Structure 1
Amino acid sequence: MDKKSRQIDITYPLYIPALIAFLILVLPATKFWFNSVGHRWVYVLLFSSLLTYLLVPLAQLVAIKEMFLDLPDHARKLHMKGTPLLGGLSIFVSFIVSLAVNYIFSKELVGILIAVSLIIIIGLLDVKFHLRAAYRLLVQIAATAIVIYTGTVLTIFPSHTPLWYLNIPFTFLWILGLTNAMNFFDGMDGLAAGISVIISTFIGILAYQNHQPFLGWTAIAIVGGCLGFLPYNLKLKGDASIFLGDSGSNFLGFVLACMAINGDWSENSIVVSALAPVLIFSVLIYDMFYITIDRYMTGKIHNFTEWVEYTGRDHLHHRLDALLHGKRKTVHFIFLLNIGLGCSALALRNADTVDSIILVVQSVVFLTIVTILERIGNKIRLNGESQKNRHPENND
């Protein structure tokens, strides 16, 4: 690896003020005051965001020393220099510490923490040893089995019916699908972390509306962790100085999928219970389904193994980037789309049958418009790649 590839941009904006604020926050009197006035969620948010912000520079230094770097290949990876990959580890550590300090634990959550620890470990090993995708998938399956064993299971079919056992394969599909969908979506600065903030926020709001404070605090811990990471990953100027890495994006996707399962989305309607989380996650679900169908129809993949191991620049954000001519515009567009669909999920909770149908149709229309824009963007992208292949002398 040449010297240019090892040049890392490490900056510490507002690090000292953040450190002072964190030291004040960890004082027992500060914690007691937040709890006494009923703002425990604010304490969790501040704690996780400040801790992540303080941990990221340390993760950068460790990543540089131990060569946990994402090196540019000028094909699929278009960043200009080697970039640390331990951003997700910072959020993971902050998440666990935030929950421990605030005594936010349950049987289900302990299972989730054990499972995501495996996800993080296999992700780090993959950076070092370039493991096959099949090995990573096996660990994800094992992690999902752990959370199912500890009580995180979809309840599509009632427990008193013979069909209850079908909840287990559906749980595997939900968790594994969203885990990998988040990983696939981690293709632009700030995209995966920002989407995680939006999804966690909506999960937190619905948790509080449904009187599930522990789920709400867990969601807020993810929100804070990602907010503390974003100043390094989605800068006002310049490229990201650190990435989530596969371990980080898989961790976020896995945790969010599990939180959605543990949410009581509606007390009165099974339909709302199913549709609300689907709407919140619909951007990730849409991208997963779209690229799977498109890759199969175009002959890029032929079986499940190829699906797992295939990587390409054909995701929603890549196609929209070709249309919008700017990564930042693309990221903001996807954020707004996810917020709009999340608001539909909030409205769905208290909607009657007619309003529910209108909200679902509205969401389908949104995604249909995105599909049209995406196809236009893909044509532009393919034409651009064709021009580059015809005139390689202009690519320097």
Structure 2
Amino acid sequence: MLHISEWIIAFIISMLTALLVTPVIKKLAFCLKAIDKPDNNRKNHDGDKASLGGLAIFIGAAAGFLYLQPEHPQMSAIIIGAIIMLLTGLIDDIFELKPYYKLFGQIAAAVVVVSSGLVIEKLTIPFWGTVYLEGLAFVITIVWIVGASNAINLIDGLDGLAAGVSAIGLSSILVMAVMDYRVVVAYLCIVLIGSCLGFLYHNFYPAKIFMGDTGALFLGYSIAIVSMMGLFKNVAFFSFIIPIIVIAIPIFDTTLAIIRRIINQQGIATADKQHIHYQLVKMGYSHRTAVLIIYAFSIFFGLLAISFNSSTLLASSIIFIIALIGIQVIAELAGIVLKGKQPIIGSMRKVLGINKTDQIK
């Protein structure tokens, strides 16, 4: 049963809880010295900022969750995995874990979920049909959870960016969950969206607090889980690509970062200021405008995912082609208007962050 009044109450509870708890978390972060300091190499904010905001997002979501009390066979494992992911980010924000320790925590959270039986069992591929993953299901599910968590983490570079993109992605999943009558997925999306928006009040430019890895890993994990509970269960064509489209910007940015660092002979975990959001700022857009541009693209991809979810194969193919053309046109126009000469996508070197003197060997 879809009780709209319960959804509204849960949303308000989550949003207000996150809104009111965030200032307290800010004070706690300074006491624990969980501080994000300016760094010319990859951080350009002014002054020290508290970096445990993700804890407020978690508390807000937990408050709404306790009100709704959704039931699911794997809910206990999902909660345990969320706590492991949250603690991994929390410890990293306070003590700065080495990359492989942080990866271990992410994998541990994913393994808990997979062990409960919640896995990506099959993928529906256009012109091919349904492919049952069987033994690969565990590996692909772990890769999806860890990948989505890191994708949100990597895009968390500008004030309000990760929280806003996550809220938009979760809103897209919420619409599809309602369309498919997946009540538990809708419940989880509602409380997560509410907590993101409550926190965003303090996190949008100029931010008073950052979500840190505590929030980025938790939100990435949450998006991965709700998509597994809903989107991957869809048997329609293109269902395999819908979850990827929902968080297309973070996934695209993560993929480019990996390619860029391999080409530049850097470690994959090496931080830099070559991400898409930083490139927009370098191109002349203000901090706030750069974030809004990525919001707009995220909304576009969210609407695209919703269209895919309810379309036939032919319609999905047409939508996909139109989307690719639309992305190219929008990007070209944005580049021309801003620079008057060089489009955004026209220079892959600039997007990838490769120096002119770098040679691909």
Shift in Å at residue 380 of structure 1? 9.9
Residue pairs, 1:12-161, within 5 angstroms: 38-156=4-122
Number of equivalent positions: 341
> Paired residue for 1:287?
253
Contact 2:93 2:214 in 1 (8 A): no
1:185-224 aligned within 5 A: 185-224=155-194
CA distance in 1, matches of 2:263, 2:346: 14
Q: Which residue of 2 aligns with 1:257?
A: 224
Instruction: Provide, for residues 89-143 of structure 1, a one-character-per-residue CA deviation record: whole Å limited to 9, x for no partner.
Output: 0111121221112212323232122112112212222233222010000110110
For 2:136, the equivalent position in structure 1 comes to 166
Q: How far did residue 63 of structure 1 move?
A: 1.1
Counterpart CA distance in 1 for 2:262 and 2:177 is 38
Aligned position for 1:373? 344
Aligned AA (1:182): I
Q: Structure 1 368/108 Cα, relative in aligned 2: closer, same or farther at 3 Å? A: farther
- Stretch of structure 1 that moved more, 328-337 or 109-118: 109-118
Structure-1 residue corresponding to 2:318: 358
2:286 to 313, 319, 326: 326
* Alpha-carbon distance in 2 for matches of 1:124, 1:353: 43
User: Which residue is equivalent to 1:312?
Assistant: 272
Q: Quick check: which has more Rg, 1 or 2?
A: 1
Q: 1:36 to 1:110 in 2, by over 3 A?
A: closer
Checking the alignment, whether the CA contact within 8 Å between 2:14 and 2:62 is kept in structure 1 is no
Query: In the alignment, which of 127, 132, 147 is matched to residue 177 of structure 1?
Result: 147
1:245 aligns with 2:205: no
Separation in 2, partners of 1:152, 1:224 = 25
Following the alignment from structure 1 to structure 2, what is the Cα–Cα distance between the partners of residues 245 and 267? 33
Residue type of the partner of 2:344? L
Tell me, yes or no, if the aligned pair for 1:319 and 1:377 is still in contact at 8 Å.
no
Evaluate the alpha carbon distance shift between residue 382 and residue 257 of structure 1 in structure 2; reply closer, same or farther with a 3 A threshold: closer
Q: Is 212-221 or 35-44 further displaced after alignment?
A: 35-44
Mapped partners of 1:265, 1:147: distance in 2: 15
Does structure 2 conserve the Cα–Cα contact (< 8 Å) formed by 1:52 and 1:228? yes
**SS of residue matched to 1:164:** coil
Distance, in Å, in 2 between the alignment partners of 1:291 and 1:178 is 14
Runs ≥4 in structure 1, deviation > 6 angstroms?
Answer: 380-384
Cα 1:63/1:281, change in 2 over 3 Å: same
The change in CA–CA distance for 1:244 and 1:156 in structure 2 (over 3 A counts) is same
**Deviation at residue 274 of structure 1 after TM alignment:** 1.1
8 A contact 1:87–1:248 mirrored in 2? yes
Any conservation in 1 of the 2:74–2:117 contact (CA below 8 Å)? yes
Q: Does 1:227 align with 2:197?
A: yes
Could you tell me whether the CA contact under 8 Å between 1:316 and 1:374 is conserved in 2? no
CA 162–113 in structure 1, closer or farther in 2 if over 3 Å, else same: closer
Partner of residue 22, structure 1: none
Q: How far apart are the structure 1 equivalents of 2:149 and 2:198?
A: 21
Residue by residue, what CA displacement relative to the aligned partner does 1:166-225 show, whole Å, maximum 9, x if unpaired? 111111111111110110000000000000110110111111110111110100111000
Determine which structure has greater relative contact order: mean sequence separation of CA pairs < 8 Å that are 6+ residues apart, divided by chain length: 2
SS at the partner of 1:274? coil
Q: Structure 1 stretch 74-83 or stretch 357-366: which is displaced more? A: 357-366
CA contact (8 A) 1:181 1:288 kept: yes
Q: Go from structure 1 to structure 2 and tell me whether the alpha carbon gap of 1:353 and 1:146 turns closer, same or farther (over 3 Å shift).
A: same
Give ranges in structure 1 of 5+ residues lacking alignment: 1-34, 301-305, 387-396
Q: What is the identity, as a one-letter code, of the residue corresponding to 1:97? A: A
Q: Secondary structure at the match of 1:199?
A: helix
After superposition, what is the alpha-carbon deviation per residue over 1:251-280, rounded to whole angstroms, capped at 9, x for unaligned? 1001101111110467552x3321222211
Counterpart code for 1:325: Y
State the superposition RMSD in angstroms.
Answer: 2.8
Q: Distance in 2 between matches of 1:380 and 1:104?
A: 43
State the distance in 1 between where 2:346 and 2:9 align. Answer: 44
- Measured at CA, do residues 77 and 253 of structure 1 come closer, stay the same or move farther in structure 2, by a change above 3 Å? same
Deviation at 1:234, TM superposition (A): 0.5
Name the SS of the counterpart of 1:180 in structure 2.
Answer: helix
Query: Identity of counterpart residues, as a percentage?
Result: 27
When you count helix as a share of all residues, which structure comes out higher?
1
